[in-house]
Chain A
Amino acid sequence: MTDHDAKPPAGRSLVHIVMDPTDNAAITNAVLNAHDPTTGRITLHPTPATKGSQSLIYDLLAALDKPIERLPEEKIGGPRLQQAVLAWLSGESHQKIFVLRSHLMDEQSWATLLEISRLIGIQVVFIYHAPQLSPVHQHLLFNTPHQITDNIYEFLHPVYGGEHFERPQDTTSPPITYVPTLPSIDFPRFRAEMFRQLSTEEFIAADTEYTHGIETACHWLSAHKDYQKNTTSYTNWHRALPSLLTPEESAKRAITLQHHYTEEEINSLSQGLLCLGQAPRTAGEYPHPWRDLSGLQVFLSELVNTAPSTNHTLARIRGAQAGFLLHGLLLNVPTEPEEHSGPGIGTPLTPQLADKIRRSIAHPQRAAALACALLTHSKYVLLCQIPVSALSRSAHHIRIDDQHCYTVPPHARGLLRAARSFAQLHASTARGRELLLAEGIGRKGQHLRASATACNIGLNPYIFNIYGSSNSCWHHRVNCWWIASPLHGPTPDHKSHEKNPPIPWTISSPPLTSI
C-alpha cells in the first residue's frame, strides 16, 4: 500500500536545481524518459515561445496526460485550472516534477511552480540548461529552501511502485479466462449444476473463480474480529476426545496417544482431525445475525471488483457463500444478482478503463464520477449526494447513501482523491457539506453522460433512472447469519491457517450435491 500522504522529512528541501550548462541532449533525454505518472514522476516539457502561469498550467495538464482540448467543454478555466492541477497532482500522489528548459521560464512560471511545491509538498526539480542562474531566478529562490547540483541521476529513480499499476497486477485474483453463462441457482447446488451443464474447460474456468470466492472468504473471516470473538481455541487436546467415552476410557486413550506422540504432535493431529474447528462461544444459540454488514458489503465489493465479467462475479459470489457456510455462516445473496446493479455487474472498472478515464477527462470530479458510476452502478442522484466525508482518507472505501459501502480498487483511488482535493479547493457546497461528485455529474446527469461518451463507455441505463428504488444493488440486499459451528479452518490465528491451507477443490474430486 502506498503512503500517498508522505511528505519529505522536515528540513529536506522540495526544490532542486540541476545545472546543465552545456544543454546536454543526454540529460534532456534521460529526464523525458523518466516521465512515468505510475511511479510518481512527471516531466514538464514546456511549450516553446509561451509565457505566463496559464501557459504553464496548460503544460502541466498536458504532462499529466489530460485532454487540454476538452477544458472549455468541461468548464475548467481561470483559477480552476490551477485547482485542477493541484487536485490531480495531490490526488494521484505524484511525488516529483521535472521541469525542463527552466532557464527560459519567466518569473511568473517559476513562482507558480514554487507555490505548487509548497502547497502540496511535491518535489520540483528544475533542469537549468545554462551555466548559471539568472538574477531573476536567484531572487525567486532567495526565501525558498533549495539545493543546487549537477547530478541529474540522483533524481531519476522511481519514487514508489504506484498503486494503480502495480507489477504484477493484483496477484490474488485468478488469471483471466472466459467464463460462460452460469446456472441460475443458489449456492448449495451451484457447483454441482455447473459441473452438469458446462463443458470440462468451461467448468475449470468457472470453478477457478468459485474457488477464489471460497478462499477469499476464508481469509477474510479468519482475520475478522467478529469471527474471532465467536470462536475459541482448544488449548487442551483432552477436551477434543469424543464425549461419549467414559473418563477411564478417555484416560487410556490419552496414555496410548502420549506413548506414541509428543504433546505438540497430538495437538496438531487433533486440530487437523477436527478441521481446526472450534466450538463457538454461542454454540446452541443459533441462529444469530452477523453484525458487520458494512464490512460484509466492503468484502463483497472487493471480491468482485476485479471480476472481468458478470459471470465471473456470480461464480465468486457463490464460492464466497460456500466459504461462509464452511465457517458456520449463511450468507444470503439475491439468487440472480445480475438482475440487480452493483459491483461486478455490467462494465467493470478495470485498470485499463480507469486509465482511459484519466486520459479522456480533465475535470477531476467528472472523471471520478464516471469511475464511481462504473464501480457502484448507483443512480446518479445518489452519487450527487455523496459528501467528501464519505470517502475514506486513503480512498480505499466510499460510502453511498450513508450506509452502503464499496471498496475502491487501487487503480481508481487516485481518481477519487483528486475529486476530493478539487471539491475542497473549489468548495462545492450544498447544505453545508462539500460534495464529492455533484459538479462532475450535473443536475440531470448530463456531465456524466458526456464523460461516458468522451470515454466511449456505455453506462447502465439504470443509473439515469430517477424513479424506482434506489436500493437495488445486489450487495445491499445481502444478509448473514451464524447458523452452526465452523466446519473448516482457519483458527483465529491467521498464521495457523497458512500452515493448514483449505482443502483444495479440484475437478477430480466428485462435486458434492451440496456445496
Chain B
Amino acid sequence: MTPLIWDDNSKENDHYLNLKHAQVIPTTGLRATHGNMKDNLDAKGMMCIHGATGLGKTLSTNSSLRELAPENTIRVQFRSIPNPSDIRTLLFDALRISGKMPKRAIERDKILKEALSDNFHVIICDEAQWMTTECFEYWRHLWDDPKTDMAIVFVGGGDCYRILRREPMLSSRIFIWQEFRPLTDHEVITYIPVYHPIWTQADPEDIIFANTHAARGNLRAWTKITAHTLIGMIHAKVETPNREILQWVFSRLGSGDD
C-alpha cells in the first residue's frame, strides 16, 4: 500500500468521525503535549508520543502544531511497512521540490537536505510503529546532518514505544518520551461535559456509567458513544442522555456488561 502524505491541517478533521460540535478538551495529555512539543521544537529534537489507540495522540499533536508551527509542519503517515525510498519520495512531494527527482539516492538526499536546511521544518511521523530500522536510520541521517533544520515527532500506538526503544540510535536522540494514558474518572467528569453539548446537562453518574461500561477513558470510544447517543436522543426526542439510551448505544457498539 502506498504511503500517503497527510497534511490536512484543518480543525474539522481533528475529531474522529468528523463529529460536529466536538471540542478539543484540555486534557492532561493535550496540555502535556503542548508543553513538550514547544520544548522539542525549541531544541529541534526528536520526540516520541505513544500510547494505545484512541487516546488523543494525533489530535493533541495536530492541535499543538497548529499553534506552534502552522506553516512548516509535514505530516507523514504510513499504512504499510515503508522503506527509505518511500520516505524520500514522500518528502520530495511534501517539500514541493521542483524538477525531476534524481535516480540516485545520494542525489535525492542532497536535494532533500538542501530543502530541509532552507527553513525549519517539523516532521510528524504518525503510526511510527510501522517503520523499520532502515527507516529510523534514514530519519536519523537527515536529523543528524549539520545542515538540516528540523525536529521530528514520532507518534504511534500499540508497540510504538517498544519498537523505538529497542533502536539504540533513537534512544540517545529522542529528547522527550510522552505516554498517553486513558482518561481518569476525574478527567471524564471534568472534560466530557465540555467535549460535546449533549453531555453538558447530563447526569455525571450517567457519564461515569458510560465510561465504565464502554469508553474506559478512551477518547475515540467517547466519540463513537457521543455520535450514537446523539442519534438515540433524536429518535427518543429527549434533550439529555439517559441510561436507556446509553444501553441502546452499548448494544450498537457491542460493549457494555452482560
- Check if B106 sits within 8 Å of A22, measured CB to CB: no
Of A46-54, A275-283, A422-430, the one contacting chain B is A46-54
Interface string of B186-217 (1 = CB under 8 A from A): 00000000000000000000000000000000
- Our pick among A22, A48, A101 for the contact of B168 (Cβ within 8 Å) is A22
Interface string of B217-238 (1 = CB under 8 A from A): 0000000000000000000000
Of B27-35, B136-144, B247-255, the one contacting chain A is B136-144
At the interface, is chain B mostly helix, strand, loop or mixed?
Answer: helix
- Check if A49 sits within 8 Å of B144, measured CB to CB: no
Given A47-B105, A49-B85, A28 and B144 contact (CB-CB distance below 8 Å) = yes
Shortest CB distance B176–A (Å)? 14
Q: Does A32 contact B (CB under 8 A)?
A: yes
Chain B residues with Cβ under 8 A from A24's Cβ? 172
The residue of chain A having its C-beta at the shortest distance from the C-beta of B102 within the complex is A69
Chain B residues with Cβ under 8 A from A68's Cβ? 104, 106-107, 110
- Check if B146 sits within 8 Å of A32, measured CB to CB: yes
Interface residues on B, range: 20 to 34
Q: Does B171 contact A (CB under 8 A)?
A: yes
Q: Does B169 contact A (CB under 8 A)?
A: yes
Interface string of A11-29 (1 = CB under 8 A from B): 0000000000111111011
Shortest CB distance A134–B (Å)? 15
Shortest CB distance B158–A (Å)? 24
Of A55-63, A244-252, A264-272, the one contacting chain B is A55-63
- Check if B106 sits within 8 Å of A58, measured CB to CB: yes
- Check if B171 sits within 8 Å of A22, measured CB to CB: yes
Shortest CB distance B67–A (Å)? 28
- Check if B172 sits within 8 Å of A45, measured CB to CB: no
**How far, in angstroms, from A407 to B114 measured CA to CA in the complex?**
38
The residue of chain B having its C-beta at the shortest distance from the C-beta of A46 within the complex is B141
- B residues 92-142 touching A (CB-CB < 8 Å): 102, 104-107, 109-110, 134, 137-138, 141
Chain A residues with Cβ under 8 A from B137's Cβ? 48-49, 101, 104
- Check if A49 sits within 8 Å of B172, measured CB to CB: no
The residue of chain B having its C-beta at the shortest distance from the C-beta of A21 within the complex is B168
**How far, in angstroms, from A129 to B173 measured CA to CA in the complex?**
14
Residue among B106, B107, B134, B173 with max Cβ neighbours from chain A (10 Å): B106
Chain A residues with Cβ under 8 A from B182's Cβ? none
- Check if A48 sits within 8 Å of B146, measured CB to CB: no
Chain A residues with Cβ under 8 A from B169's Cβ? 23, 129
- Shortest Cβ-Cβ A-B pairs, 7 listed: A23-B168, A49-B84, A23-B169, A48-B138, A47-B106, A25-B172, A25-B173
Contact sample, A vs B, 14 pairs, CB 8 Å cutoff: A22-B168, A23-B172, A24-B172, A25-B144, A25-B173, A35-B146, A47-B105, A48-B137, A58-B104, A59-B106, A62-B106, A62-B110, A69-B102, A104-B137
